[in-house]
Amino acid sequence: MRVTIDKSRCIAAGQCVLNAPFVFDQGEEDGIVILLKEDPPPEQEEHTRRAARLCPAEAIKLHD
Amino acid sequence: MARVVIVGASVAGVGVANELRRLGHAGEILLVDGQDHLPYDRPPLSKAVLLGEEADAGLPFHEAAHYAGIGVELVLGRAAVSLDAATRTITLADGTRLRGDAVVIASGARARRFPAGLAEGPVWTIRDLADAHALRRQLRPGMRLAVVGGGFVGAEVASSARKLGLEVAVFEAAPLPFLRILGPTVAAELAALHEGAGVALRCGITVDRISRHGAAQRLHLSDGGSEEADLVVAGLGCLPNVEWLEGSGLPLVNGVVCDAFGRTGVDGIFAAGDAAAWFSPLAGRHERHEHWTAAREQARIVAAAIAGTEATAWEAFVPYFWSDLHGRRVQVLGDTAGAEEVSFAHRDEARGAFLVEYRHGGRIVGVAGCNAGARTMRYLAQLAPAAAEAA
């Protein structure tokens, strides 16, 4: 699985960090998404999928 | 296969279409809007669009190819003018009739205007892209701008105008802007932000009428005084677009009255977003929400109801909104109105950052942060344990 993010769509709602904290972080000041792992390990895939599904801004794209 | 007609192509409407496809809905989806633009996001209107930075603002939700790719038919430039609830048939401005097996009302809201009879000159509002473009053309460095209403739209217009070099005064009826929703501690912080940026904040005062004064306008104030301005913008909140539903038989009380799944009580007819007043099981009443994330969450719940799948319940949603004021990012999470206890959890003057916790009965019920994005959103887990579990 490969992950890409669209920072221009991000609204800093924090669902990604809540659901997949090893894959995503947020900017200290603006809260905008920071991608920690472009290729999450298999044990993080389910969390990453949930993060992508729950991102209200649809700013996370998964490429299987 | 079921055909879904969605009226309104903003956050809620586009969200329903996307979620339906994600959930595997195979029937036709029609997305109707009176505006002739590719569906676009509104938060940048009072920020990037006014600043002339529209190209980078991520304004359209998606390119046209996205809708073609997932099989969503855009019906743009023709507003819905009526609904026959019994047959779930929408009539458009040109007389076209669209029947749906499910109909989603996401017709949004419009800016509340300054009473026309009380203003001789133009009073601008900002809600649609056309409004933002029209206002942008008016803004010139050195002009005097008066903003009537100190809410977030007014505050963002003030912030953008200062950045463009206008002189700005904000007139707010309450003792401070944001007092009711954020309480005195954070309201004072945000007032200080305005003042630090050179905005003249006039609180506890209303604008009774506006007269022409040469090429300028004169605002007549409730304290008997007056102020002159070259441009006047009203930020007086918004009203739900539900007039087109009068006569449909749907219950309309400050929006389309719905249960906590967006169901109107008429089979197959749903409502979401600014036009909808959903039942809140926690508050025990119907409430209309005007925030981006509430509209997006309602879209998720309505799509699941149409597709017949499970979704996290509306009561598990943690309210969230953000604003960009004078170069700072403000974020508010949870329920901050009417908290018993308000205290600073973090403060970093050098970064212009603070974080305030709101407690009720000893429990944290909300937070408000400024330039503290990561820190603020870390509270999501404790504010939404139920949501995190159920998703």
The owner of tokens 């304290």 is B223
Phi/psi of residue B222, nearest 5 degrees: -70, -20
Query: Quick one: B264 and B253 in the same domain?
Result: yes
Q: Write down the pLDDT at residue B56.
A: 72
Contact B391 A26 (CB under 8 A): no
Number of domains in chain B: 3
Number of domains in chain A: 1
> Does the residue B140 lie in any domain?
yes
> Does the residue B321 lie in any domain?
no
Residue A19 sits at the chain B interface (C-beta within 8 Å): yes
Domain boundary among B234, B264, B298: B234
Residue A56 sits at the chain B interface (C-beta within 8 Å): yes
Query: Quick one: B88 and B229 in the same domain?
Result: no
The tokens describing A8, both together, are 């221009």
Phi/psi of residue B263, nearest 5 degrees: -85, 135
Distance CA B51, CA B134 (A): 13
Radius of gyration of chain B (CA): 22
Question: Which among A15, A32, A54 is the top mutation candidate for probing chain B, defined by the most B β-carbons within 10 Å of its own β-carbon?
Answer: A15
Of A6, A12, A54, the CB nearest to B377: A12
Residue B296 sits at the chain A interface (C-beta within 8 Å): yes
Residue-number span of the structural domain to which A12 is assigned: 2-63
Count of beta carbons in the 10 Å neighbourhood of residue B235? 27
Q: Write down the pLDDT at residue B385.
A: 57
Residues in chain A with CB shorter than 8 Å from the CB of B391 are 19, 50, 53-54
Kindly give the interhelix angle for B179-196 and B152-163, rounded to the nearest 10 degrees.
10
Count of beta carbons in the 10 Å neighbourhood of residue B243? 12
Question: Which among B47, B301, B329, B346 is the top mutation candidate for probing chain A, defined by the most A β-carbons within 10 Å of its own β-carbon?
Answer: B329
State the CATH number of the domain containing residue A25: 3.30.70.20
Q: Write down the pLDDT at residue B391.
A: 42
Query: Quick one: B129 and B190 in the same domain?
Result: yes
Q: Write down the pLDDT at residue B1.
A: 60
Mean pLDDT for back-to-back runs of 10 residues, chain B (391 residues): 94 98 97 96 95 86 96 98 98 98 98 96 96 96 98 98 98 97 97 98 98 96 98 97 96 96 97 97 92 97 96 92 97 93 96 96 95 96 63 42
Residue-number span of the structural domain to which B176 is assigned: 113-234
Buried b (16+ CB within 10 A) or exposed e, B210-226: beeeeeebbbebeeeee
Q: Is the pLDDT of residue A58 over 60?
A: yes
Domain boundary among B292, B316, B340: B316
Count of beta carbons in the 10 Å neighbourhood of residue B134? 14
Residue of B nearest to A59 (CA): B61
Q: Write down the pLDDT at residue A64.
A: 83
- Give the residue ranges of DSSP H helices in B178-227: 179-196
> Does the residue B77 lie in any domain?
yes
Kind and range of the H or E run holding B297? helix B292-307
Helix, strand, coil percentages, rounded to 5, for chain A: 30, 20, 50
Domain boundary among B206, B234, B262: B234
Size of interface A-B (CB pairs under 8 A): 71
Partners of B211 in the β-ladder = B218
Q: Write down the pLDDT at residue B389.
A: 44
Phi/psi of residue B292, nearest 5 degrees: -50, -50
CB-CB contact of B182 with B190 (8 Å):
yes
Distance CA B253, CA B77 (A): 27
State the CATH number of the domain containing residue B164: 3.50.50.60
Strand order in the sheet with B80-84: B80-84, B89-92, B97-99
Residue A61 sits at the chain B interface (C-beta within 8 Å): no
State the CATH number of the domain containing residue B339: 3.30.390.30
Question: Which among A30, A33, A62 is the top mutation candidate for probing chain B, defined by the most B β-carbons within 10 Å of its own β-carbon?
Answer: A30
The residue among B321, B109, B143, B117 whose CA lies nearest residue B233 is B143
> Does the residue B257 lie in any domain?
yes
Query: Quick one: B202 and B260 in the same domain?
Result: no
CB-CB contact of B175 with B145 (8 Å):
no
Query: Quick one: B79 and B192 in the same domain?
Result: no
Query: Quick one: B63 and B158 in the same domain?
Result: no
Contact A27 B322 (CB under 8 A): no
Residue B69 sits at the chain A interface (C-beta within 8 Å): no
Residues in chain A with CB shorter than 8 Å from the CB of B17 are none
> Does the residue B93 lie in any domain?
yes
ipTM computed for the complex: 0.93
Residue B110 sits at the chain A interface (C-beta within 8 Å): no
Average pLDDT over residues A23-41: 97
Query: Quick one: B24 and B58 in the same domain?
Result: yes
